[in-house]
Each structure stands twice: as structure tokens, then as C-alpha cells.
Structure 1
């Protein structure tokens, strides 16, 4: 009764996607475990932005595959009632003259070569799409029409429901306490609800990955980092028809989107506050942070100089040294694989990542090579470094 074809640890958007894909690809008996409830952790804190723009080309392929799923979500899950809450409003990114211009140009050229539909806009065309913004300092503006935002919590719970329909057992409120290894091979896990056996374990523990490091003795470079998100109430409408934006001209490399009505959801794309230990509880949002982000918003969106604060929250990233994930088999322990260190990109890539982690666990060829994402890259120096600096679009 307690033996499974595969066990997935962590029921956020990556873990639920992995469990779903394991069942979809033929695993008959899958167990998904979470210390809390499905999607309750960092998934519920996501801003939900979807795009294929990355300056690390490997990520573009994952984002492309994931967009295909988001764009046909109910059909993909074979559930007419499933929804990811997709708003297809497009994604606009721009840079001024200076150190971000050529990196942006190079990233866009690579995207074009990978078949991403893109439009280069002048200031007048950009203003038609995002009339509340000013573009007089923008040297390069790109628009990706096949982009937008969705609801990460809804995606996680939909994946979990679809997984259950395919026979996956989902146990919430169960804390994994130890990985059981015998002669260099994983054979199961000990938990607060007892022992569960499997020769395939996939860890999607996110900011709790240091627990996996303690169980295995492996060095798994990841830290928990807290970021502030604001919802500003402005005097002008920011409708769902207006695109998501990324402002490489601002000091914080702001990103934002409509939050409905006259509200803008906005945050900085820079390094956040490192936490001493994993913690998804809401942190303090300082007045200084509100003022600093608000001043940058007002510089780009003049009418928002008088905006009020509608709400705020903090989200926690699982960050690696190069701000990109570790995916696949871990060395020295057969049957153990992982996906961690998404550094704020996990939701965007979750359908494709869940599928390739499931393929790898089942011994199948993977849709996208896992080699660039291996943990060995930190020793070899073959890092997946983005062109815009730490904490930015990578």
C-alpha cells in the first residue's frame, strides 16, 4: 500500500506539474507530498507573468513549450473546467541608450532565431499599446504579442486535480523528514505520516531544498530571497488589454502588469533580501521600499505620481548563484532527481519543467536537454548567466 512508482516532494506549481506529467506519461502509482497544502507556499506569492523573453537561450525553449500549455490549458489537462486564468495582453520590454541596449538587442535577435513572434516598436506605437507610459528615452522597444499573465495558484491546483484524476495520490500536511538511501540508490522517504517506498524520488522543495542537502550530504547551492510586490492605485486605467512591461531604463529594472481597473502590480527585478532560513511568511514592506519603487513608477508613468498603495506582499525566491534552476539527476544517488533554484522564473516554465522532470525520472528522452541545468555547472564554470545582471530577466 505504501510503495509507489515515483514520489514527488513539494506540491507547488513545479511539483504538481511533475506529478501530473508522471501519470500522463504512464506512471501508474504516483505519490505527491506537501508539508502544507497544494500551492500554499511560494507559488501563491507569484506575480503570474508569462513571457518567452529570456537572455539565457535555454530558458526560451522551456518558456515556448510552457506557453503552448498555458495557451491551451483545459485541452492539455483534458478537463473542460480547468483554467489557468490566462490574460493574453502581450509583453513589452525596452531599454535606453547605455549598458542594457546591446544585451537587449542580442536577446531579441536570439529570440527571433528561435521563432518567437516579436515586433519592434517606435515610441508612438508603444504609446498606443500602453498609453499611460512615456517612451521618450527608449532606444529600443520590443513587443511580444503571445505573452501575458495567469494565476499560479490556479495552475497548481488544476495540475493537482488533473493528477488525481489520473490516479496520483496527493497527501497534504505531510512533512518529509528523511530520504532513505540503500547502496547508493534511493528507496523511499520517511515522513510525519510514516514511510513511503519508491525507487524514483523527485524533489521540488523550492526554498526548502537545504533539507535535501542535509539528507544527502550533497552541496546544493540555493538561498531564500524575499522580494516586495506592490499594487498601486492610479488615476488612470491600466486595463487587461494593456501589456505587461519590463523597464530596463529604471534603476530597479521594474516589471509590472495590470491588476485590474486602475491598479498596477509592480516590483523590482533586482536582488532582494536574503533570508537566514526558509520562510514564506509575509515580511515587512518598508515605507522606504514603497517610496523608492513609487518614484521609479512615476518616472515612467507620470500620472501614477499621485498613486496610492492598494495592497502589498512579499514573495520568496529560491535563488542559485547564476539565477537559474538546477534540473535533473543528482550525483551519487541513483533514482534521485530535483528541480530547484528557479529564482522567480518557476511559474513561467512550470509545464515544460514538470514534463521533462517526469521524462527523466521515467528514463525517457527529455523534450529539452537537461545538461545545461545540471548541478555540475557550478563546479565547471558553465553558468547560465543572464545578460542584464543578477536579479533581472535571465
Structure 2
């Protein structure tokens, strides 16, 4: 068997970030395996929004550290040609005078306490930044100028290229069939192209994490969940790159929006989606009832979009845990196994820091942030990381 110091399973944006950080921390004999190609799974379905706004303070810290990477991506990777496709347009979040108002107020105060640049806007100030929207119902408006969106696929391929330059081997179209475990310790992986020996495995398998549960005999709470994304076109009221990403807590679906270039707006719901029985990245059907319902909500905030057309649409699949937050770190009882899964729709924006801390954990280095809140043991102890807005992608 070929021997590697560390094997990473999964070459999405999390796995490639892990690989990059492993070599940056000094690991030289690293193998990354992916069942398809780099970034071809759920990474390619990402909406790409970057923000530090979370109601879970631990997530704010992960996002803050990650933002500094996205903001200076080429220099961080040591590759002047690297790009994450960053558009720094800001992030605006709005609540009406309803059950979301006080949770939003508490979350914004928490962000300020953690040193996040943040402004509170009145309706007129919000209108100046987002002239195509109306704010008649807005009771509280937060604005994060250091935010925006980027390209998850481009980020993953850039991480992968930098990792390869640092000596990492990435093998695509290789299926991992099982872990090789002896006396409670990882000793290798068995794959469709043979076995590889290693004393350390980092699993970033995303929606395929239930396979890991089968290999280890452990319960790893996770449910794949499909979400629909619409791109609406409205020449009369273009959503330009200068307008902020927008989160509408006043809408029934807690909709999020961003510019999609030209006259197009990208929009999707921020609530629980369609439960899937098995992992599946194939495109799902988007019912017309869904389109009509979301369209009606869009028109309440953006009146010109009442007659907007659908330019395109797609579906993406989240790897959802019971509290909509990830499991990070060592899996108790199996020496040499580190996991990163269950990002529940916000893995991309956390990927630089998550990749670094998982690499630190696997190499036995000091870890930049505490992994205890993200331990799998929280599901047994009840110390969940459920966000203030309820279940959904703004944890």
C-alpha cells in the first residue's frame, strides 16, 4: 500500500481548504480523494454569500476569520492568479416588528461586541443602498459593509491548485469504500483504486457522511435537504453589484437575495427545505406553487419584480444536523479520525477557517478556535447550537 501522513475524503470547498492548510502547516505527504471532481458536488450549487452575521457567536468568529482570507485571497494562497470572485457589496438584514425583532437586535449587539463593523440604518438610509426595495415595515435594519458574495467553485479550485503546488496529491473519480480501523485506530482507507495506509483521515464528505457512519458504526446525525434557488430578471429594476446582499426576516420564507449580474436577482428561502432519504446532488423539480409563493414574497419587498421573469433556477442540497450547525473535530473513540460535516448551507463562508482548524486538529497543533461547541457529543448532552431565528440557514 502507498502510505500517506494524512488522507482527506472530499474535494469540495471544505476538503480543498483542509488540503491547502495541511501543506501550509508543514504536512508534505497528503492525499485528497473525491468520488467526482474538485468542487463538483454541493460546492458547485452554492449561492456564494459571505457574511459574518450569525446568531450563534461561535459562527461569527469562524466567519470573521474566514472573511479576512476572502478579502485578501490571492495573497493568502501565495498565488497572484488565485481568485475567489469576491464582490464586496455589503450585507443588509431586516426585521419587521414581529418575533424576529428581538433575536435580530441581540444578534447585532453580539456582532458589535465581537468587533464586526456594523451599522444600524433607518428606512431612508436603507433605501439609498437598496433603491429597488421598500422598507415600510422595517423595524430594525442592520448593515455589514464588509460583506458580499463570491464564487464557491472558483474558491475550491484555487485552494486545490495551491495545495497541489505545496505537494498535495489530489485524485478525482475515486470512491472510498471504507475506513481501515484496527484496535480503535485509523490505519488506512480502502478505495476503488486500491488501499492506502495512513494514520490520519479527515472526512469532509458533506451529504455522504452517512457512509462514514456505516464504516465506523457510529451515529452521525445528518439529513440531506434540498433547497431551490431562483434567478429572476427585471430590466426595470436591475439588482446591481453595488447593491447589498439582502436578508429579509420579515418575509415568511426568511428570503435571502443577491445580485446575479445584469438585470438578475438571485433569491431563495432560508427555512427548512425538502428532506431527502439519500444523498443526491442531481437537480430536483421546482414546483410552480413554490415559484408563485416565493415570487409573491419577493414582490412585497421589491414591487417591480411582480412581473419579473425566471431567467434560471437550480436546486442545492444541504447536509443538515439537528441544530443546523456543523460537527467539527475528532470523532471520540476512533484515534486518527477528524470530521467536518453538517454545515447546513453555510459551509462556503466558513471554509477558510474550518479548513485550517481541521488541519490543526489532525496534525495535533494548537487550534485557533475551540472545537468543543462543535463536538458531536453536544447532540447527546443537549448543548445545541440552535440559532435565535429557529431552524434555518442563518444560525
| Cα deviation digits, residues 34-83 of structure 1 (max 9, x gap) | 00000000000000000000000000000001000000000000000000
Residue 68 (str. 1) matches residue 53 (str. 2): no
Contact 2:31 2:169 in 1 (8 A): yes
Q: Which residue of 2 aligns with 1:361?
A: 362
TM-score by length of 2: 0.99
Task: Quote the residue 1:231 is aligned against.
Answer: 231
Deviation at residue 19 of structure 1 after TM alignment: 0.7
Q: CA deviation at 1:91?
A: 0.1
How many angstroms does 1:262 deviate by? 1.2
Residue 33 in 1 paired to residue 33 in 2? yes
Query: Separation in 2 of the partners of 1:334 and 1:392?
Result: 32
State the partner residue of 2:325.
324
Structure 2 distance, partners of 1:237, 1:266, is 14
User: 1:160-171 to 2 correspondence within 5 Å?
Assistant: 160-171=160-171
CA distance in 2: counterparts of 1:31 and 1:306, whole angstroms: 51
Q: Which residue of 1 aligns with 2:256?
A: 255
Aligned position for 1:23: 23
Contact (CA 8 Å) 2:70, 2:86: kept in 1 or not?
yes
CA contact (8 A) 1:253 1:392 kept: no
- Residue by residue over 1:244-277, the C-alpha shift from the partner in whole angstroms, topping out at 9 and shown as x without a partner, is 0000000000001000111000000000001010
What stretches of structure 1 move > 6 A for 4+ residues in a row?
none
Match of 2:126 in 1: 126
Corresponding residue number in structure 1 for 2:344: 343
- Please give the alpha-carbon distance, in whole angstroms, between the structure 2 residues aligned to 1:368 and 1:32: 24
Distance 1:140 1:236 in 2: 24
Paired residues of 2:346 and 2:393 also in contact (CA < 8 A): no
Find the counterpart in structure 2 of residue 90 from structure 1.
Answer: 90
1:237, distance to aligned residue in structure 2 (A): 1.3
TM-score, normalising length: structure 1: 0.99
| Partners of 1:2 and 1:314 in 2: CA distance | 38
Task: Specify the alignment match of 1:372 in structure 2.
Answer: 373
Q: Displacement, 1:392?
A: 3.9
Match in the other structure for 2:335: 334
Matches within 5 A, 1:1-394: 2-234=2-234, 235-394=236-395
Cα distance between partner residues in 2 of 1:333 and 1:77: 32
**Distance in 2 between the 1:308 and 1:230 partners?**
10
Secondary structure, aligned partner of 1:161: helix
Q: Structure 1, unaligned stretches of length 5 or more? A: none
Distance 1:293 1:117 in 2: 31
For the aligned residues, what is the CA RMSD?
0.6
